[in-house]
Amino acid sequence: MRRPTARPNRIDQVIPSIVERDAVSHHTLEAQRVLRSLGFVSEIYCANMGPEMAGRVHPIADLPIEPDGRQWVLYQASIGSPAAEAFAAHPGPKLLDYHNITPVELVERWMPSLGEEVRLGREQLAALAPEVFLGLGDSAYNAAELDAWGYEQTAVSMLMVDHTNFDVPPDPRLREALEAAKVGGGADWLFVGQMLPHKAHHDVIMAFAAYREAYDQDARLHLVGRDSCPAYALGVRKLVGALGLGEAVDVAGSVSAPELAALYEASDVYVCCSDHEGFCAPLLESMHHGLPIVAYAAGAVPETVGPAGVVLPSKEPALVAAAARRVLLDPDLRAALVDAGRERAAGFSAERARHDFAAAITQALHQVEPN
């Protein structure tokens, strides 16, 4: 491992892919702002870039090498990429910021190509452990994974979330339609997440079916998120049909920010049954909108939700249904969850996250051991 022997002049970032409207890309751009505000030269080098990023970031081949140890490199790890090889080959002291990579077994059966990418990513992260002098995780869960791979020093530095869309006004047409549907009674459940197998939309649907069967025949479920795995998305739609829930489940796909705001506003409970989450930004958004959460305790979910939701050790349909019922019927519990959620969401503010990241860099600077 190349230990830092001098305070750096520049801290450059390496990222596999950078595009707009992507959480890790936003985090990387924010990190660049923080690094520059701390007085470092800081550029971003990537293997792939969206067209809108041209001029703001550089191709990985242009990553400079300054031989005097005054250049550090920071890798933003979220998927397998040849960018990791370029990062590994760089002679400068190395930092790594880990945003979690879904375990292979959760995606491989449905998406062999994605399975290959996540396998590569996890292999690369294990191989990088001896090279990195400080590993950052955007949750304690992620930092613990770095520890398990043998990273010598790790710290938690929260994700710098894009709050731009948190307060957009709700889409008036959708709001009207959702309000009209409520006139006939029934609760609205919401889950937001890309249609990927490890997001377990099917478990949300099963719990919803049990809820309707046991408590509320008029309930509705809204599933928001693009079809990132078409075969799984088809399976989810078939399940909706097989359970006779076609009228009650709205598989909305990708929606605009105002439409999403309308759905958060109209919904009564947010239900998450994901098998794996490294952070789970929609939970944060849900708390911000005052929507109480019922969630299965997978990955970083308990850490992200904190005391602001009902976190369950199992996602048996009857258990999730009973939890949702309790949140909907117990006004004291509901009010407490809403208040706690708003307070917790505020704790993930952009300012706090930037401060967190700056503190992590300061911690790294303390590692400098002059020759």
Partner 1 sequence: MTVVPPTLFGEISTEADRIRADGTLPAGYEAELRGAFEDIAADPHALEAEVARQASLAARSGARSATMAHRAAGKAMRVTRRAAGAARRRAGPHLRTVERRGVERASRSLEVAAAGLQVVADRGRRLAAGTLAERGIARASGEAGLGLPAFAAPAALRVDAAGRLGDADLDRFVAARFTGRRGPVLHAECGDGRLVARLREAGVDIRGVDPRLADREQRRGALEALAGAEKASLSGILLSGTTDRVTPGSARALARLAATRLAPGGALVLLSAAPGPRDESDPVLSDLSRGRPLHPVTWCHLLARLGLEEISVRETAGGDAYAVAAVRPRS
Q: For partner 1, which is the closer residue by CB, 63 or 136?
A: 63
Minimum CB distance to partner 1, residue 94 (Å):
16
Q: Taking the complex as a whole, how short is the minimal distance between the CB of residue 81 and partner 1, in angstroms?
A: 5
Interacting residues with partner 1 (CB under 8 A): 16-17, 19, 47-51, 53-54, 59-61, 79-83, 85-86, 89, 109-120, 202, 206, 209-210, 213-214, 230-232, 234-235, 238-239, 242-243, 307-310, 312-313, 316-319, 321-323, 325-326, 333, 336-337, 339-340, 343
Nearest approach, Cβ of residue 17 and partner 1 (Å):
8
Nearer Cβ to partner 1, position 4 or 292? 292
d(CA 291, CA 224): 15
Q: Are 261 and 172 in contact (CB under 8 A)?
A: no
The distance of closest approach from Cβ of residue 325 to partner 1 in the complex, given in angstroms and rounded to an integer, is: 7
Q: How far apart are CA 75 and CA 14, in angstroms?
A: 5
- Spell out the alpha helix ranges (H) of the chain: 23-37, 83-89, 104-107, 112-128, 140-149, 172-183, 201-214, 230-242, 257-266, 281-288, 301-305, 317-329, 331-347, 350-365
Nearer to partner 1, 107 or 353 (CB): 107
DSSP designation for 168: P
CA distance 362 to 4: 13
Residue closer to partner 1 by CB (options 110, 166) is 110
Minimum CB separation of residue 197 from partner 1 in Å reads 8
For the CB of residue 109, give the shortest distance to partner 1 in the complex, in Å.
6
Our CB check for partner 1 shows the closer of 75 and 357 to be 75
Listed residue (39, 93, 138) closest to 357, CA to CA: 138
Question: What is the rounded distance in angstroms from the CA atom of residue 288 to the CA atom of residue 307?
Answer: 14
What is the Cα Rg of the chain in Å? 22
When the beta carbons of 187 and 310 are compared against partner 1, the nearer one is 310
DSSP string for 38-107 = TT-B--EEEEEE-GGGBTTBEEGGG----TTS-EEEEEEESS--THHHHHHH--S-EEEEE-----HHHH
Q: Identify which of residues 165 and 254 has a Cβ nearer to partner 1 in the complex.
A: 254
